[in-house]
Structure 1
Amino acid sequence: MCGLSPDSPYIDLAVEVFAMLADATRVRIVLALCEGELSVGELAEAVGKSPTAVSQHLAKLRLARIVSTRQDGNRVFYALAAEHARQLVSDAIFQAEHAVDNHPRHHHPQDPA
C-alpha cells in the first residue's frame, strides 16, 4: 500500500527520525517552522521555552537534517529542511485526534480551528 517493504534499508533511519520527533518541544518547533523560517528568539517565544533550550533542540534537529539554517549577519534563521517533517508531525497530530474524538477536526476542514 505505501510502496515500501518491511526489509527497507531505511527502517533504522526512519526510527531515528521518529526518536528525534518524540519530544514535545521539537514537535512545537517543527509546527512553528511550518509558516517559514524563524530565528532562535522567535522560536523560543513561539514554543514558550528559553532560547538556550530551543538552541539545544535545534542542534539535534539540524544533525538529523530536519531543519536547515541561513545566516544573515550575526543572526541565524532556521527552516524545515524538507516538507516531510511537517507531514510526519501533522499526521501524528491527526492520529492523536482519532484517539480522542470519533469525528476528528481534520475530517471537517470547514470547521474553524
Structure 2
Amino acid sequence: MSKENNNKKEEIDRTEVEELDEETLFVVSQTFKALSDPTRIRILHLLCEQEMSVNQIADTLELRQSTVSHQLRFLKNLRLVKYRRAGTTLFYSHDDEHVIDLLQQTIKHALHH
C-alpha cells in the first residue's frame, strides 16, 4: 500500500471513532479512580468471592470498620457494590460484572508480569 493510501486509511479510521461525551468520560475516570486505591481493590477482590458485612470485611482485611464503611460508600455511589439488609446487618456484594472482570484481569496480569 502506498504512503498516500495509508494516510487516507488513517483519516477514515479516525472519523469512525466516536468522540466520548462528558458523562462517559466522567464515569470511566471515576471507575479507574475507584480501582486506583489499594483498600478499595482489596474490598472488591474480597467481594468477588462472597457477600460480606462491614464487620466481616473489616476483620478479614484487618481494617477499621470506619475505613471499610467509608470505602464501601464510595464504591456504592459508583454502583460497584450493592447491599442487602438482613435485620440490622447490611451484606455487601459486587454490583458490576464488567468492573470485576477488569479487576480480575488486571490482577492476573500483575501476577504473571
For Structure 1 versus Structure 2, the TM-score category normalised by the shorter chain is: 0.7 to 0.9
Amino acid at match of 2:31: V
The answer on whether the counterparts of 1:43 and 1:54 sit within 8 Å (CA) in structure 2 is: yes
- List structure 1 runs of 4+ shifted beyond 3 angstroms: none
TM-score normalised by length of structure 1: 0.75
For the residues of structure 2 that align with 1:7 and 1:29, how far apart are their CA atoms?
33
Cross-structure match for 1:8: 20
Match of 1:78, SS?
Answer: strand
Q: How do residues 88-103 of structure 1 correspond to structure 2 at under 5 angstroms?
A: 88-99=102-113
How much does 1:82 deviate?
Answer: 2.3
1:21 equivalent in alignment to 2:46:
no
Alignment identity in percent? 32
For the residues of structure 2 that align with 1:21 and 1:98, how far apart are their CA atoms?
19
TM-score normalised by length of structure 2: 0.75
For the residues of structure 1 that align with 2:18 and 2:48, how far apart are their CA atoms?
30
For the residues of structure 2 that align with 1:15 and 1:98, how far apart are their CA atoms?
26
Amino acid at match of 1:40: V
Amino acid at match of 2:78: A
- Which blocks of at least 5 consecutive residues in structure 1 are unaligned? 100-113
Kindly report the root-mean-square deviation, in angstroms, between the aligned alpha carbons of the 2 structures: 1.6
Q: How do residues 76-87 of structure 1 correspond to structure 2 at under 5 angstroms?
A: 76-87=90-101
Match of 2:49, SS?
Answer: coil
Pick from 58, 69, 74 the counterpart of residue 44 of structure 1. Answer: 58
Q: Which has the higher helix share?
A: 2
How much does 1:98 deviate?
Answer: 4.4
Amino acid at match of 1:11: L
For the residues of structure 1 that align with 2:82 and 2:31, how far apart are their CA atoms?
15
- Which blocks of at least 5 consecutive residues in structure 2 are unaligned? 1-16
